[in-house]
Amino acid sequence: MLPQDDMTDEMKSLASRLEDTTQAFYDLALIVYNLEDTTPSDAIPESLDTLIRDLKSLPDISRKVNNLIPQDVLEYIEQGRNPDVYARQFSELVQKDNQYVNGKLYAIEGFQKAFAEEIKQAYPEVSSVVDKILNEGKVESTVS
Amino acid sequence: MEPPAIPHITEGFYPLPEIVETFSHHVLQELVSLAEVLPSMSNVEKKKKILDWLLRSRAFTMRLLVLARWVHLSPSVHRCIDVVAFLQGQKFCFQNLVHVLQDIRYQLSFARLRNSDLVTALDILSTGTSLRLANAPTSKLYMLSESPLSTKQILQTLHALNMLIRIRLSLYEIIPTPFQHFTIANGRCTFTVPNEFSVSLTTNSQDPKSTGISFQWIVVDFQFHLPDFSSTPAKYRVFIELHLNEEIAAAFVLQKPILPLIYNILHKFCLYQRLNLLSQQTFQLSRESWLGHLRGVYDEKPPRLRLYYWPQLNVKKEGKPGKIGHYIHIFVNTQPISAFERTLSSKRSSCEYDHFLLLVEWHHDGIVEHVPLDDHMDAQHLLLLITQKHAQLILEQIRKELHPNIFSEHVGGGLKIHVFDNEIIVKVNSVTGRLVLSSSASPLSPPRHLRAAEKNIALNTQPPAQILNRLYFFCIQTQLLEVAQCAELHAVQGYYSFPYLTFSKGKWRKDGDSLWVLAYNVESNSWSVRLLNAAGQTLYTQDVHTTKGTLSIESFSRLSYLLEVQILLFNVQTACQARGMPFEYLPIPPKALIEDDFTTYVQTGCLCIMMPSSNEDMLPVVFVRAHDGQLIFDSRIKGKLPYQSETETEKNCYIDWRTGRITIRVQNFSSFEKTWIGLLKLVALSKTSAFNVDCITLKHVDFTYLDDEKFRATIHDDNTFTLHFFNRHSPFHLISQFLQDTFSDGPSAIQPLRVIMDRTRGVLVAQELGYVVLARSLRQYRIILSKNHGIQVLLNRHGCILQDLSYLSADSRYLEGTQTLTSQWEPCSWLNTVWEGDLGDDELNGQIEAAPEMHLIKMNKTADLTAILKRILAISRKK
C-alpha cells in the first residue's frame, strides 16, 4: 500500500463525503427493499434529503482539490482495476527507460571518441576541426 | 547553470473537480427523470426501478471514492509521465543518429578512385603487346586441330574393338548363365537380362590374352528393363557406371572374374529397385484407393517390404487390437545352386554367381505360404492375388460353419446361398476385406436386411456364419410371408416358435376353435399340415412331400389346396377309426394314380383303406384321394364280368368294365360307404352261378332262367332290389311282388331265388295251360279248375302237398268261414284216382305219396312238380 502521508485535508474531506454518499445510497436502497406497512412514513423522504444534500456538496468540496487525473487512470477505474497498479507500473517504466537511455549515452560517447580518432588518422588535415568540436563540449562542461 | 526543465505534458488529463461535478449533476438528473417516470408504474415496478437506480449510482460512487483516495498520487504519476516522454525523445535522437551515420557511409562509398591495372600497363609499356593474355588457357594454343578422323578410320577402329571383345569373351572370360545372351556391336558388348536390365561394356586394352594384367573392362551404359520402370534416369546411369567401374577396378586388383561380379551387383540392385517400386506402389495405394485399409512397412536393413492389409480382420480381445495375423512379406533371399545346374555349368554358362531371388511370403492364421511372384506383377496385382486367396479361405470357413440345411456353393469368387428362387451372394471386398452381401433379385440395390446383416458382420460382434444363418432364415421367412399374403394366407402366431412358420386361412378354423395350419420347418426345409385345438395342442400332423419346384404364389396356392385335401382325407381317417377299419397314408400316390396328380410343386398324398369285406368279388384295398372338395375313391373288381358298354358313368360312380377299375366321387365317407355296399351287392349278384348272367351295369343285372325266361334285378338308392321280367306273358309276374325281399348280403344272396323259382315254376305251369292260378304267398298257391273246383299247392321245406280245396283242414275252413266267403268248394271227383296215388305213370307214381282220406298227395323235394301237375291237369281236361 502506498503511503497516505501526502493526502491533504481537502482530499480526506472529499473521501469522507463520498463514503457518506455511498452509505446514503445503501440506506435508501435498504429502506425501499424492506418497504412494508410498518415502515415509518418519513423514512424515505429523510433518506432522500440526506442523499441529495451529500450529492450537492460534492462539487464544492472537490473544487479545493485541484489535481489533474490521467485518462489512463480513469480507464483503469472504469474497468474496475486498481489504479495503484498503474502507478507502480509507471514508476518501473521510468526506471527502465532511464537505464536504457543512460546506456545509450555511454555507448555514444565511446563511439564519439573512437570515431574522432579514426577521422584524425584518415584525414590529418582536419584534426584541428575535430579537436575544436571536442573542446567545445569540454569547455561547456568546465564552465558549468 | 541549471539544465533546462523537461517539457510538461498536459494532454489526456482531466481535473478532479470537473469529474466530481459531472458525476453529481448526472446522478441528480437521473433522480429527476426517475421521479417523472415512477407515477406511471405499478408499485412493484416502482420498487424495482428505484432499487436498480440506487445500486447503479452507488457503484459509480464507489468508483469515485477509489479515485478520491488515489488522487494524492497524481502529481507523482504526472511527473513520471513527463520523464518517460522526455526519455522517449532521447531514444528517437539516438535512432536518428544511427540513420545519419548509415547515410554518410552510403554517400561516401561513391567518393573513391579505382585501382590502376599496373601489371597490364607494365606489360604493354615494356613489350608493346599483352603476353599474359596470349598465354591464357582460352587462347588458341589449346584448341584441337581441325583435322577430323575419317569414316574409314572410325569403322576400322570399331571393328577392331568388336573382334577384340569377341575373342576375349570366347576364350578368357567366365560368363554367368543369365549373361549368356549378349550382342557385340559398335565397339561394345551388351548383356541383356530380360525383365531386369541391360549393361554395355567396352575395353581400352589391346591384348585379349592378358589374364588381368592389362585387359580392363569399362562400363559405358546401363538401362533398366523392369516392367514398371523402363526409363533409366541419368542420375541412376551415372551412379551405376561409376560404382561398377570402381568395383571392376577393385576386382581387377584382386584377380576376380568380372562378369559374375557385374551380374551380382546389378541383379541385386534390380531386385532392390523392384522392391522399392513395390514399396512406392504400396504407399501410393495406401494413400489412394486402399486408404485406411493398407499399411506398408519398408525396412532398410535388410531391405524388405511388409504389406498389412484388411486391418479390421485382426482378432480383437477385450476391445484392444490383437496381434496382426495376416500380412504379405516381400524380401530378397538366396537360392541354393541345384546339382543339376552345377552339372550343366560351363565356362560360357557358369553357375558361379549369386542366385538372389525376390520372394513373397503370405502369413495368415499362423501359416506361411509362398506365393510365386511374376515378373510383370505390381503391388496391386499382388494384393489382389493375395486378397483373392484370403477371400476364398474366409468364404470356405463361412461355408463350413453355415447351417447344414443351407445350400451354398462357390461361384465366381463369391459364395452363393440359395434361398428358394433367389440367391444371396456373399463376396469379400478386395480392398476393405468386408463381406459384401447382394441379392440376385436386385443386384444394384440390396434390401435393407442385407445391409443390416452386412453392417453387423462389419461390427464383428458375432461370427459371420452365424449372422448369415440368421439372415438366411430371415430371408426365407420374409419370402414366405410375402408369398403367403399373395396367396391369401396369413401367418399364425403363438402356436409354434422357431424354426416353424405357420400359415392359415379363416375358413380353415373348425367348430370348437380347432385350426388347420400349414407349418414350414425353416431348418429342415419341409412342410407339414397340422390340426391344432384351442389349447394349442397338435391333434394331427402329416408331412408334405414337395418336389424340387421353386416356391411361388402358385406353390402356396397348391399348399393351400393340399391342406384342404388333407382336411378331407382326415375326415375319412376319422370315419375309418370310428369303424375300426385299418388305413394308411401314402405321401406319394401309387403310379397308377400319378396321371391324376394335379399339382407340380406339392404332390397330394392318398389314403389306403382296407374295407371290411368277407367276399372276394372286389379288392378290399381302396385308394382315397381328394380334389376340388371331393373325395375320390379308387378300387377294382376282381375277375371278368359281362358288360354292356366298356365304360359307364352313373351319378357319382365311374367304372371301366374292361379293366374293372371303379372311381367314386362323393362328399364324405358315408356316401362312399353307401355306394360301396350297393356295388358290393351288385357284383355279388353278377357272380352267381344260379342263373346265366347276360350283362351287368351300375344299375341292374340281367339274368336268363332256363334259356327262355329273362329278367332284370334293379338296385335302388336304398340298396334294395326290384325284379323285372321282360316277357309280358311270363308266369313269374304273379309272384314278382313276393320276390323283392329274398336277397341278402351273403355271397350266395341270389341262390334262394333260384330254388324258389324252380319250385314255383311247376305251379305256374298251370297258367300256361289256361287255368287261373292264385298266389297267396311264395308257399301257398291255388289252381282254379272251374267255378267251384280247385287244387291247393303247399310248398314247404320237405316238398310239396297237393290237396283238393274242399278237403281243407278244419282250421282253414273255420278261418274261411269267419271271412264269410261266398263260394264253397266242391270235391273234384275226377281226381279221385289221383288221390289214390295213381297218376298213370310209374315213374311219377314213385315220387308221390297218397293220402286218399284227406284227398291229398305228398311229394318230396326231388319230385318233378311240373310233370306231375301237367299229368293231373291233363286228367281234368279229358273229363
The mean per-residue pLDDT over the stretch B510-532 comes to 73
- Which of A52, A67, A82 is the last residue before a domain boundary? A67
Give the chain A residue nearest B98 (alpha carbons).
A108
Residue A86 and residue A47 in one domain? no
Q: How confident is the model over B558-581, as pLDDT tens digits?
A: 677 777 777 777 777 777 778 787
On the 0-12 / 13-18 / 19+ scale of CB atoms within 10 A, A27 is middle
Q: What is the DSSP letter of B116?
A: P
Identify the residue whose cell numbers are 311229394.
B859
How many domains does one find in chain A?
A: 2
Do A80 and A61 fall within a single domain? no
Give the domain range for residue B185.
151-273
Phi and psi at residue B355, to the nearest 5°:
-90, 70
pLDDT above 60 for B878: no
Triad B386, B392, B393: Cα angle to 5°: 90
pLDDT at residue A70 greater than cutoff 70:
yes
| Count of the separate structural domains present in chain B | 7
Q: In what order do the strands lie in the sheet with B799-804?
A: B772-775, B780-784, B790-795, B799-804, B856-860, B848-851
A100 neighbourhood in chain B, CB within 8 Å: 87, 91
A49 and A88 assigned to the same domain? no
Query: In the predicted model, is pLDDT for residue B722 greater than 50?
Result: yes
In a domain, B333, yes or no: no
Residues of chain A in contact with residue B80, where contact means CB-CB under 8 angstroms, are 90-91, 93-94
One domain for residues B798 and B867: yes
B360-380 mean pLDDT: 79
Q: Do A97 and A139 lie in a common domain?
A: yes
Q: Exposure pattern of B769-801 as b/e (b: 16+ CB <10 Å)?
A: eebebebeebbebbbbbeeebbbbbebeeebbb
Q: Which residues contact B87 (CB under 8 A, 6 or more apart)?
A: A94, A97, A98, A100, A101
Q: What is the pLDDT of residues B135-146, one digit of tens each?
A: 676 666 656 666
User: What residues of chain A lie within 8 A of the CB of B89, using their CB?
Assistant: none
Say if residues B559 and B602 touch (Cβ distance below 8 Å): yes
A62-66, B393-397, B611-615: range with lowest mean pLDDT: B611-615
The per-residue pLDDT of chain B, averaged, comes to 74
Q: Contact at 8 Å (CB) between B556 and B501?
A: no
A95-110 residue pLDDT tens = 888 888 889 887 987 9
pLDDT of A143 higher than 50: no
Are A63 and A79 contained in the same domain? no
> Which pLDDT score, from 0 to 100, does residue B810 have?
44
Interface test with A, best of B51, B72, B86, B98 (most A CBs within 10 A): B72
Grade residue B747 by pLDDT with cuts at 50, 70 and 90: low
pLDDT tens digits for range B462-496:
777 778 877 877 777 777 777 777 776 767 766 66
Mean pLDDT of B686-699: 69
pLDDT > 80? residue A142 = no
The answer to whether position B814 is within a domain reads no
Q: Is residue B245 packed enough to be buried (19+ CB in 10 Å), middle (13-18) or exposed (0-12)?
A: middle
Q: Are residues A132 and A89 in the same domain?
A: yes
Instruction: With CB atoms and an 8 Å threshold, state whether B20 touches A58.
Output: yes
A52/B28 CB distance under 8 A: yes
Is B233 part of a structural domain of the chain? yes
- Boundary-marking domain end, from B238, B273, B308: B273
Which of A67, A90, A106 is the last residue in one of the domains? Answer: A67
What per-residue confidence (pLDDT) applies to A103?
92
Confidence band of B80 (pLDDT split at 50, 70, 90): confident
The confidence band for B631, taking pLDDT boundaries of 50, 70 and 90, is: confident
Mutate to test the interface with A, among B27, B53, B60, B67 (most CBs of A within 10 A): B67
**Lowest-pLDDT range, A61-75, B106-120, B313-327, B827-841?**
B313-327
Dig out the grid coordinates for B229 from the structure. Answer: 520402370
Does residue B235 fall inside a structural domain? yes
Q: In chain B, what residues touch A87 (CB-CB under 8 Å)?
A: 70, 73, 76-77
Q: Which residue of A has its CA nearest to B48?
A: A33
Give the structural domain span for A50: 8-67
Residue B694 or residue B360, greater confidence: B360
Residue B280: inside a domain: no
For residue range B161-192, what is the model confidence (pLDDT) as tens digits? 888 887 878 887 778 888 877 888 888 888 88
Give residue B312's pLDDT: 63
Residues B681 and B726 in one domain: no
User: Mean of the per-residue pLDDT values for chain A?
Assistant: 80
Which of A48, A68, A75 is the best mutation test for B, with the most CBs of B within 10 A?
A68
The nearest CA of chain B is from the CA of A30 a distance in Å of 9
- CATH number of the domain that residue A58 is part of: 1.20.58
List chain A residues with CB under 8 Å of B66. Answer: 77, 83
B84 at interface of A, judged by CB pairs closer than 8 A? yes
Q: What percent of chain B has pLDDT over 70?
A: 67
Q: Of A16-25, B83-92, B93-102, B427-436, where does mean pLDDT reach its minimum?
A: B427-436
Q: Is the Cβ of B39 closer than 8 Å to some Cβ of chain A?
A: no
Averaged over B221-236, what is the pLDDT? 77
Task: Give residue B855's pLDDT band: very low, low, confident or very high (50, 70, 90).
Answer: low
Stretch B310-334: mean pLDDT: 68
Confidence band, pLDDT 50/70/90 cuts, at residue B596: very low
Res. B597: pLDDT tops 50:
no
Q: How many C-beta atoms lie closer than 10 Å to residue B459's C-beta?
A: 10
* pLDDT value at residue B819: 44
Note whether A107 and A52 are same-domain residues: no
B161/B268 same-domain check: yes
What is the rounded distance in angstroms from the CA atom of residue B745 to the CA atom of residue B749?
6
- CB-based contact (8 Å) between B81 and chain A? yes
Residues 66 through 95 of chain A touching chain B, CB cutoff 8 Å: 66-74, 77-78, 83-84, 86-87, 90-91, 93-94
Closest CA to B52 of A55, A25, A81: A25
Confidence (pLDDT) at B742 = 60
Q: What is the edge-to-edge ordering of all strands in the sheet holding B500-504?
A: B490-491, B500-504, B515-521, B526-532, B538-544
- Is A50 found in the same domain as A31? yes
If asked whether residues B405 and B455 sit together in one domain, one would say: yes
Residue B48's pLDDT band (cuts 50, 70, 90): confident
B13, B54, B73 ranked by CB distance to A2: nearest: B73
The verdict on A80 and A127 lying in the same domain is: yes
Cis peptide before B731 (omega within 30 of 0): no
B734 touches chain A (CB under 8 A): no
Q: Please indicate, yes or no, whether residues B162 and B265 belong to a single structural domain of this protein.
A: yes
* pLDDT above 60 for B212: no
Residue B879's pLDDT is what? 46
Contacting residues for B397 by C-beta, under 8 A, at least 6 apart: B465
* Highest mean predicted confidence (pLDDT) among A49-58, B464-473, B658-667, B755-764: A49-58
- Are residues A128 and A86 part of one domain? yes
Same-domain check for residues B648 and B695: no
Nearest chain B CA: its distance from A49 CA (Å): 12
Domain-terminating residue out of A67, A99, A114: A67
Residue A52 covered by a domain = yes
Measured in angstroms, the CA of A108 and the nearest CA of chain B are apart by 8
Eight-state DSSP code of residue B186: T
- pLDDT the model gives residue B818: 44
